[in-house]
Amino acid sequence: MLLRIVLMLILLSTGFSFAIVIFQTDFSSHDFPPPGWTIENSNSYGNWTRSTYGQPDNPYAKGQVSISTGPANGSTTLVTDYFSANEGDILQVSFLGRRGWTHPEYSFYGMSWYIRLRLDSTNVWSQSLSSTPFGWTPTSVSIPITVTAASYRFTWYVSGSVPGSEYPGCSFFFDLDDVLIIRTANPVEPTSIGLMKAIYRG
């Protein structure tokens, strides 16, 4: 009986946490952007689109930014809908990404790719993906939340300059797939009533 009481007290004192899937997509749906996502553009030089490798019903689809010979400057952003998170929560984000260009000799042009966590209109966390290699690369990050709010959003942001017509056939691409965003809630602390019930039930 005493052992049972001790075990119950330990379980209650450590609390518990639970995980909630906020967003998940592999871009297999024909809808793009997927439900719960939007696209923000500052120009028309390039845009996030759904790519199926030339096959409309290919299940191995992806989100892609493909930018051809310019000249042009600007940005395009794939954005999740707003979601809530509380102080002490952990946001876990995983996805596959890759980048490339048709002519490596033009790679010095300033193309940037970032994943960012936005609170209202302010970026509160950012990680550059500009060094992502040509092949598919898994990325996984954990982000602690320090402010309770209902206006968080994740963004995949691409910007930069594209060479002009003096560089024929030059194009850049950024690919995104298998996005999973999970919120792990802050552990729930036990109450004195819960502890009393544990002792009484023993």
Same domain, 134 and 195: no
Q: Are residues 73 and 110 in the same domain?
A: yes
Q: Return d(Cα 4, Cα 199) in angstroms, integer.
A: 9
CA 168 – CA 165 distance, rounded (Å)? 6
User: How would DSSP label each residue in 84-99?
Assistant: EE-TT-EEEEEEEEEE
Q: Which residues touch 125 (CB under 8 Å, ≥6 apart)? A: 116, 117, 143
Residue 71 domain boundaries: 18-186
Residues 10 and 42 in one domain: no
- Sign of the dihedral through C-alpha 108, 176, 135, 66: negative
pLDDT at 18: 79
Task: Quote the distance between the C-alpha of residue 57 and its chain's center.
Answer: 25
* Mean per-residue pLDDT, 29-45: 82
Distance CA 41, CA 75 (A): 6
pLDDT greater than 80 at residue 69: no
Is residue 155 located within the same domain as residue 176? Answer: yes
pLDDT at 17 (0 to 100): 65
Q: What is the pLDDT of residue 192?
A: 40
Answer yes or no: do 47 and 114 share one domain: yes
pTM of the model: 0.76
- Predicted local confidence at residue 115, as pLDDT: 93
111 with 202, same domain: the answer is no
Domains held by the chain: number:
2
Contact 138, 94 (CB under 8 A): yes
State the Cα–Cα distance between residues 71 and 164, nearest whole angstrom. Answer: 4
pLDDT score at 195? 37
Residues 105 and 198 in one domain: no
Residue 105 and residue 47 share a domain: yes
Tell me the residue type at 41: N
CATH number of the domain that residue 146 is part of? 2.60.120.260
- If one compares 34 and 4, the residue with the highest pLDDT of the two is 34
Instruction: Give pLDDT, residue 137.
Output: 86
Per-residue pLDDT band for 100 (boundaries 50, 70, 90) equals confident
* Highest mean pLDDT of the ranges 41-55, 89-103, 113-127, 171-185: 113-127
Higher-pLDDT residue of 193 and 118 is 118
Same domain, 123 and 101: yes
State the pLDDT confidence band at 24, using cuts at 50, 70 and 90: very high
CA distance 119 to 134: 31
Say whether both 12 and 42 belong to one domain.
no
What are residue 83's DSSP bridge partners?
152
pLDDT at residue 4 tops 60: no
When computed from its CA atoms, the radius of gyration of the chain, rounded to whole angstroms, is 23
4: three-class secondary structure by DSSP: helix
Rounded mean pLDDT of 65-69?
Answer: 68
Q: What is the model's pLDDT at position 2?
A: 42
| 161-166: average pLDDT | 61
- Kindly state whether residues 24 and 12 are assigned to the same domain: no
Tracing tokens 């051809």 back to the chain, one arrives at 68
171 and 92 part of one domain: yes
